A and B are shown apart, each in its own frame.
Chain A
Amino acid sequence: MSSYILRFDEISKDDVNLVGGKGANLGEMTRAGFPIPAGFCITSNAYKKLLSRKTQENIAKILREIDYDDAEDIKIKALSIRNIILQEKIPDDISTAIVNAYKAMDKGRGLPYVAVRSSATAEDLPEASFAGQQDTYLCIKGKEELLDKIKQCWASLWTDRAIQYREKNRFDHTKVYLSVVVQEMVNSEKSGIMFTANPVTGNRNEMAIDASYGLGEAIVSGLVSPDNYIFDKATSAIKTKNISEKKLKIIRNPEAGSGTLQLEIPEHERNAHVLTDKEIIELSKMGKKIEAHYKSPQDIEWALREGRFYILQSRPITTLQKKKRIVKGKDIWTNANVGEALPGVASPLTWSFFFSVAVYTAKNFLRGIGLTNLDFVDAGFDKIIKRICGRVYFNFAFIYDLFAGMPGYRLFKSAYDAVMGGHQSEIEYIPTPQKIKILNISTLILIPRVMIGIIKELRKKKSLDKDAREFVAYLYRRRRELDSVDLKLKDLDELLSSFAEGSHLVADAFTIYMRTTDQFTYYALLGSFLNKHLGDDGRLRNLMITGLEGMKSAQPSVEIWKLSKLAERNPEVKDVIINSESKDVLEKLEKLPQARDFLEALNFFMDEYGVRSPREMEISTPKWRENPSFVFSTIRSYIIAGEDVNPIRLQEAQRRTREAATRDIINRLSEGYWNRIFPWKKFLFDYLRKNTQKLTLQREYLRFYVVMAGDVFKKIAVSIGRILKDRGILGEIEDVFFLEIEELARIAAQEFNLETIPKLVKERREEFQRFEKIHPPDVIVGDYTPEDYFSELEQIKGDILTGLGTSPGKVTGKARVVIDPNNARLEKGEILVAPFTDPGWTPLFITAGAVVTDLGGLLSHGSVVAREYGIPAVVNVKFGTKVIKDGQIVTVDGNKGIVLLKTSPS
């Protein structure tokens, strides 16, 4: 046997370099004794030999000339490379070896039909995924036909998509090879796919089998809706059978001698069960064995012919919630939760300020519990928060380490994971409990002090209401006073005190906001209580915080709705809003005498809510008061959609639903004699519910004032920017956001060399733009190297996006992928697909039929508001904005936490 050919039984899993992932896997399973149809692989050596030196040079030359910005050019060059390969004559020794191996498959019944598939491999990255190179030729028969298809497989390494993919991921084109798998074709009567874990729910105790008639291609290509069976692994019972109408099947083409054709299934067979119970059980057993062999859930292609099952392929299920990855002694960086507050690349000013405020808040807390020496906070805070490619990440390992060993750690961790969202729940972190060197020598003396401090902190919780009210009153007052000073008239040094005061104000707001973090604890406890006593899957828990009266984040919608009513009563104003570009509306209204009342109301609105914006914690984003386009386009969609989307009525309806659910829960908890005599369940429920509701309201309320304080600070930063621009140091005022907080302080104090600023700004702007093109994942273990993560997007397969269902219901509709809410228009019932959402997005929820976000958790903005409006939400789907096409029809299932990308017409 030459090194060009390896039979399946000669291949092991270590031969990936020679036969690619697919080939190695078939070898592995053949050796393990699974019923794999016989076959062989043409190794990558054959491909290497095929390319003579001259051919390689020719290809390299074409590659050098490709203009990667020109899709058309890539297509043309790809075609010419494929032509070169198709023109090559297969060296005699290779073709002889192939033909011999093929002939050896003849078991006395003539040359068999085979399937020819490509199996790519790269020298450096044997396990990398290679999208777009999955060429498959079915039912091939005869030597010439076979050699021809093998060549086509080789050429498929050079499709335009494959070239682009390698270029994007910086694979060396000359180090990617191709092996070809030739496998006997099972002319199956029935076939399908088996998942050894439920791919929809992620339940590892269940298997799911899809089955249809004829060859498996019918299911793989989405031609038919197969039967679906769910099988319980533990009890070996068939749990559910969903029988579909199977109209078509794909079979071997009997006339042409090779290839396939589609055939209609006779009417009376269409709704029959494809597999019998006995067959389901037999297949499941095989599935269990394969899963045990690979030690991970598998996605298996199977075929049934003449009463015998064959396994055609098995791969790990990648879309399934991954088996927990065990991490020890490494940092876990996540931006799932921070990402919602500060999504995207943070400007240097936002980042440096945020960091500074976070350090201050942490110190404040630690001082509150009696610690005095806090140098370790300054020294080590970048181990807790840092930037990765410009985005803010938070180290979870630190928190786990801190709490490990304390009572209630497990509850804390599971609650934290669930509520925070993100993919850290896929990680099993083994914490290293913190040595208490924080407290060093005086530990013993400190202990009583810290105890007293903790008690004092707990007592402070009670005063949160009062403190919040006082702070908010203070903020309004200071804001008014600071606003009354015309910052434009001030010189740099006079701005120093405003700057100091403004930053202090934001830190105060943030500190009091952080005191509502307890909300997570109550929310998690309420969830486990309802789950334990009523078997709630989260739906009831979520309902408890919908339609709450006085929800600050829902208020802008109500106010904008009122503005739309006002506009409707004024035909001139209405005309301008409906028929002008959003960006021109304000200017036109200002020229319109009839618009005076409306503008007065608008100003009143802006005075309070104008501080909002998308990405509201990012200082550089224009606020509504600076760019009112979003407000006008929302008014417009309210006018068009009418009473159906009245947010006041929607909230009212939600409130009634919540109250009905509350009564129902109380009734259920009061069932039975003892529960009536000792209604402790009811009392505990009320206690948890009320605290959760109260803290939810408080959190949303205080978050608004963090933003308002941030806006005060922004005005001061902009004033510094204006002075620097007037002096010719900055090109534009917005450049000021590319300076760090300490630099601004030094500039205002006249202790900064202003000449260095233009270069600083230029470099940081460039860095900012570079970072915007990189998309790091939401959870990073250890250090981030983009190469380790590139293939995540490519791993998505099938038509399901899995995320976290945070608001119940199932809706099918047209997807609207929105990156910038300022330019978005959402027709009623359309599905909002967004990278994340924050209060600046809220008005879009009014017309949305459902919401899908890349980031998020149970308590993130999108989830909270979706529940508020009673529309389904699936968050944390990672790639929604990348995979879902604008205008595509999708189904959002908030109960199961999935988004179906292919929706059957029914």
Chain B
Amino acid sequence: MAKIGVKISGDIALVHAAGRITLDEGSSNLRESLRGLIEEGKNKIVLNLSKVKFMDSSGFGALVECYTSARKHGGDLRIASPSFKVIDILSLTKMDKIIKSYNSENEAIKSFAK
């Protein structure tokens, strides 16, 4: 099962996702949580994916959709400590060249300060 946890720290929304992000289990969860944040104006998002065991194409689609939406609202979505699974998907789809990702949550948070 997918778990999505949200923490707000200053103007940055810290989102923890864990488990399986798939069509049936977590992709709409993830999409709705992130969409909600963006609608509230919390569009600087750090998405921690270290606990994601599996992400199917629909889950990944939701992630990219939210990235686009955050950018559109003047913010950004950055990935923190992606699991190997996520790293491989990012490089397969070439999203590693588009969505910024960082080894740790701290680095990702700091990157927004620059």
Interface residue ranges, A against B (CB under 8 Å): 356-357, 359-360, 363-364, 367, 372, 374, 378, 474, 477-478, 493-494, 496-505, 507-508, 741-742, 745-746, 749, 751
Contact = CB atoms under 8 A, between A and B. Distances in A.
A862 B89 CA distance: 34
A746 B61 contact: no
Given A367-B84, A497-B68, A356 B94 contact: yes
Interface of B: 23, 56-58, 60-65, 67-68, 71-72, 84-85, 88-89, 91-95, 97-98
Given A367-B85, A367-B88, A745-B97, 11 more contacts: A356-B91, A357-B92, A359-B92, A496-B64, A497-B65, A498-B61, A501-B57, A504-B60, A504-B61, A505-B57, A508-B57
A456 to B, nearest CB: 15
A230 to B, nearest CB: 56
Nearest to A367: B84
Q: Is the interface of A mostly helix, strand, loop or mixed?
A: helix
A497 B88 contact: no
B68 A742 contact: no
B66 to A, nearest CB: 8
A356 B92 contact: yes
Contacts of A496: 64-65, 67-68, 98
Contacts of B61: 497-498, 500-501, 504
Contacts of A374: 84
A493 B65 CA distance: 9
Contacts of A505: 57
13 contacts: A356-B91, A356-B94, A360-B92, A474-B56, A478-B58, A496-B64, A497-B61, A500-B61, A500-B93, A501-B64, A503-B92, A504-B89, A505-B57
Nearest to A481: B58
Contact of A745 (B57, B71, B72, B93): B93
B30 to A, nearest CB: 12
A880 to B, nearest CB: 38
Contact of B94 (A367, A372, A477, A745): A745
Name the 8 nearest CB pairs between A and B, nearest first: A501-B61, A504-B57, A497-B65, A497-B64, A745-B94, A360-B92, A500-B64, A505-B57
A745 B92 contact: no
Nearest to A356: B92
Contact of B62 (A363, A477, A493, A497): A497
A781 to B, nearest CB: 32
Most chain B C-beta atoms within 10 Å of own C-beta, residue among A494, A497, A505, A749: A497
Given A478-B23, A500-B64, A501-B64, A360 B97 contact: no
A494 B95 CA distance: 14
A504 B90 CA distance: 9
B97 A504 contact: no
A745 B89 contact: no
Nearest to B99: A749
A751 B88 contact: no
A123 B48 CA distance: 69
B96 to A, nearest CB: 9
Contacts of B89: 360, 504
B58 to A, nearest CB: 6
B84 A504 contact: no
Nearest to B95: A500
A478 B94 contact: no
A749 B98 CA distance: 7
A357 B57 CA distance: 14
B88 A364 contact: yes
Given A508-B57, A746-B98, A503 B93 contact: yes
A496 B65 CA distance: 7
A379 to B, nearest CB: 13
A478 B85 CA distance: 21
Nearest to A501: B61
A367 B84 CA distance: 8
A252 to B, nearest CB: 75
Contacts of A742: 94, 97
Contacts of A363: 88
Contacts of A477: 23
A501 B27 CA distance: 12
Given A356-B92, A493-B68, A507-B92, A500 B97 contact: no
B62 to A, nearest CB: 7
A365 to B, nearest CB: 11
Contacts of A503: 92-94
A751 B23 CA distance: 29
